[in-house]
Chains A and B, each alone.
Chain A
Amino acid sequence: MKDLFWGMAGADWALLGGGIAAILGGIGSAIGITAASSAIAGIVSEDGEKFGKLLPLAAMPGTQGIYGFIAAVLVLIFFNLLSGEIDIPAAIGFKIFLACMPVSFLCLVSAIYQGLTAAAAAGIVARRSEDSGKALIFPALVETYAVLALIVTILMLTVLQTALTKM
């Protein structure tokens, strides 16, 4: 009889978790970058020399999409899904899914807020170019929590990989 958890096999849960991490991180980054870029484009349209100083602010919310992508790739690598061996017990698969949730939701929310913070910080650069370093700090603070979520997800996936190896 096939091993299922809530009607889904272990590999299905693992792929769903990895997929959600990549999707939500990407959505958050897209929204965050759009929010920051709208304001930055307005500033650059009036003062093109500030482009270089503003570009890091626009790019910053993009990291959450990368974290989601990393989580998804780790799921594929840690649990041998790339090799086609998809023999994951359903209970472990569900736990892999849960392990992907911290990075998924935190990246979604933190990327949006980071985009808003970056848009506000761009106002600092608009007024005083020399404060561009200071302006970078505020959105960088938001990044911390996305990084912590990625670390938590990686640790959880590592534990689950070890557990699966011992089975």
Chain B
Amino acid sequence: MRVPLFKTVYDAVYYGFAVGKVRVLETRIFGGGTYERLVDAPSFAEQKRILSDTVYGRYLENAENADEVEAGLETALDDFYRFLAEANLPEPVVRFFRVRYDYANLRAVLKARALGAPLEGMIVGLGIVPVAAFEGPAERLPAYLAKVAAALVDEDGRIAGVEAIDATVEQAAFADLVETARSSKSRALRDLARLMVDVANARAAIRARRRSRPASDLAEGLLKGGTLRIRDVEKIYALPFAEFVDALASMPTLRGVDADALADPSALDVVLDNMISQFLRRARAVQFGPEPVIAYVMAREAEVTAVRTLLIGRLAGLDRDALRSRLRELYV
């Protein structure tokens, strides 16, 4: 029998230090005001000056071009992930955040080989597998990656097409995330993995239906491990688009999501990403346990994405309106 008080006390003691740190650190996460200042900054140098007083200051002090910004922000993100391990979070939680980059790197390697393109600058050092390992043969990668690579290479050594690489690697990555979340024994992480699968499936189903792709294609593309039942989606797939979206929005997984927003291509990503934002808001409100730490690291991930968009956008010569619209795509 699980006694809630025992678990609460255990979580309060085990994660207490990390949660305490997070309570201070989350006050330093950028609000709208900082983003506005970064958008309004007339130059990259001014943006750097604004960031110099923040956690990003030391990572970007020597950055002068897009590559150096990327490298600086990658180091910042690496440190945020390191915090997960320092915060006593179980190993699978750390893996959950890092393993996605291994799959992204694998995708980059396979695509580069399929297209005969150079790999330079495509590999990020945020995964579990060292960057150097991706430069060698795919068979020498850890088994969970080598297996995926092997499935995409035929007997003659030819690599599958880009679309097949995307689909296969994504399926494998999500399956790994679901399994990693399950092994973490963290309910919060299991819920998050399930939600990520649901969001990906809902997005894939709506896009496939809008393009009137055959139902068989959809069934192959949907990911396992979510709460959105694939059979139920297949049943409503034959309906006209508007009715299909209404039916999808009425499913328990997407309850509360506006059907009109799901049908609008420009609002689809925002409304689905908001489901994850809502989850993170709930996680931040949890007092004892790993949830606030997970929510903090994910908030930092989103922040890094926004900062990268603004800095590299400014370096590329984008004006304020263009930067603001790109930011809005990230945070509506």
Contacts and interface: CB of A to CB of B under 8 A. Distances in A.
B5 A42 contact: no
Contacts of A116: 8-9, 12, 287-288
B24 A126 contact: yes
A42 B13 contact: no
Chain B CB within 10 Å, residue with most, of A31, A39, A43? A39
A122 B21 CA distance: 11
B253 to A, nearest CB: 31
Contacts of A122: 20, 23
A115 to B, nearest CB: 7
B17 A126 contact: no
A-side interface size class: 20 to 34
A84 B25 CA distance: 58
Interface string A103-132: 000000000100110011011001100000
Interface string B276-313: 00000000000110000000000000000000000000
A42 B12 contact: no
Interface string A29-45: 00100110111111111
A112 B16 CA distance: 14
A85 interface: no
A35 B16 contact: yes
B27 A42 contact: no
Contacts of A127: 23, 27
Contacts of A37: 16
Contacts of B12: 35, 38-39, 115-116, 119
B13 A38 contact: yes
Interface in B1-50: 5, 8-9, 12-13, 15-25, 27
B179 to A, nearest CB: 30
6 contacts: A31-B9, A35-B9, A38-B12, A43-B23, A119-B19, A126-B23
Contact of B21 (A42, A112, A119, A120): A42
A38 B13 CA distance: 6
A43 B292 CA distance: 14
Contact of A119 (B18, B22, B24, B288): B288
A126 B19 CA distance: 11
B287 A123 contact: yes
A120 B288 CA distance: 8
Interface of B: 5, 8-9, 12-13, 15-25, 27, 287-288
A38 B20 contact: yes
A116 B8 CA distance: 8
Nearest to A50: B24
A35 B13 contact: yes
Contacts of B16: 35, 37-39, 41-42, 119
A44 B20 CA distance: 8
Contacts of A40: 20
Contacts of A35: 9, 12-13, 16
A41 B13 contact: no
Contact of A126 (B9, B27, B288): B27
B9 A42 contact: no
A119 B287 contact: yes
A116 B287 CA distance: 9
Nearest to B87: A42
Contact of B19 (A42, A44, A47, A112): A42
Contacts of A39: 12, 16-17, 19-20, 23
Contacts of B22: 42
Contacts of B20: 38-46, 119, 122, 126
Closest A-B pairs by Cβ, 10 of them: A42-B20, A38-B16, A126-B23, A46-B24, A39-B20, A35-B12, A42-B21, A42-B17, A43-B20, A39-B16
Contacts of A38: 12-13, 15-17, 20
A120 B16 CA distance: 10
Contacts of B27: 126-127
